[in-house]
Amino acid sequence: MTTTKEAGAAGDQATRGDLIDTLPQYFLPHHFLSGLMRAFTRINIPAVKNWQIETVVKKYQVDLSTAIEPNPLAYANFNRFFTRALRPDARPLATESGAIASPVDGRVSQAGPIREGRIFQAKGQEFSALELLGGSAERAKPFMNGQFATIYLSPRDYHRIHIPLDGTLTEMVHVPGRLFSVNPKTVRSVPRLFARNERVATLFDTPAGPMAVVMVGAIFVSGMETVWAGEVTPGPRSRVRSWNYGSANGESVSLRKGDELGRFNMGSTVVLLFPPGKTDWTTDLVQGKAVNMGQKIGRVR
């Protein structure tokens, strides 16, 4: 397939204006501001939470017709609205044999090959799988020269993450870091953005071999959680933390394709990694493409 890197979209390189607009983010107290947002989005006072919800629904044209609870004012607080569940029939799952399902609703930022461990971020910007996965060469090795896809979730999107293939969890890794915005302007401007922001990497054994589903935090993302561990962030930020799973330690987590994996409490980005020679993306999985959770985005060879 033609990769987004090879396509070289004209708007994919940072402009002088992008760099100037992004510069203040380097000096912001990212985690302090995100902590305030965490408290703000959990206010249960009706007048406050209703204003928050109505403002976002109007500004971002949020579609609630597919939600289990379509009344925006029925949610106890803004975070409950933001992490709302969808009706079971709202997102048809790609059930054909070998189909890889999109883990989220969002828009493709980039997709293509991992070249010698490097992942394309934007024109002139890239980062490494080694950095993304917390600095462990052993953890990153299966994905050398494999495939990646980066999907950005906007405020209007559904914010639960689902597993793209049947998988058995082998490891979860929390990597502390900054919380730059992940909007397109910042992605173009901040070097190694997805390997600098705080993130939670989940690693699975699947029919395609090892798979990584990486939840990347951003400014005002006040928490990332998984269905088996609950809220992972906010948490200690001084070092990389990891948890091993499997029969050896008595804790096993297996999910079927389409099962909920976790969620963002406020929105951000998911990065998928697969090993070499095991998967192909669909030919239309290109930069800017809108995808829905469950939609076929690739296949297992």
As given in the structure block, the two tokens for residue 55 are 């403002």
Q: Is 181 a catalytic residue?
A: no
Q: Is 74 left (phi over 0), alpha (psi -120 to 50) or beta?
A: alpha
Q: Is 105 a catalytic residue?
A: yes
Q: How far apart are CA 217 and CA 181, in angstroms?
A: 9
Q: How far apart are CA 106 and CA 98, in angstroms?
A: 22
* Cβ atoms of residues 198 and 176 within 8 Å: yes
- Of the candidates 30, 162, 174, 189, the residue annotated as catalytic is 162
- Of the candidates 34, 109, 189, 268, the residue annotated as catalytic is 268
Q: How far is CA 230 from CA 112, 139, 171, 182, 265, in A?
A: 31, 23, 15, 24, 12
- Of the candidates 12, 18, 105, 157, the residue annotated as catalytic is 105
Q: What is residue 178's DSSP assignment?
A: B
Q: Is 280 a catalytic residue?
A: no
* Cβ atoms of residues 211 and 203 within 8 Å: yes
Terminal alpha carbon distance of the chain:
14
Q: How far is CA 285 from CA 17, 129, 150, 294, in A?
A: 28, 20, 10, 14
Q: Which residues are catalytic?
A: 105, 162, 268
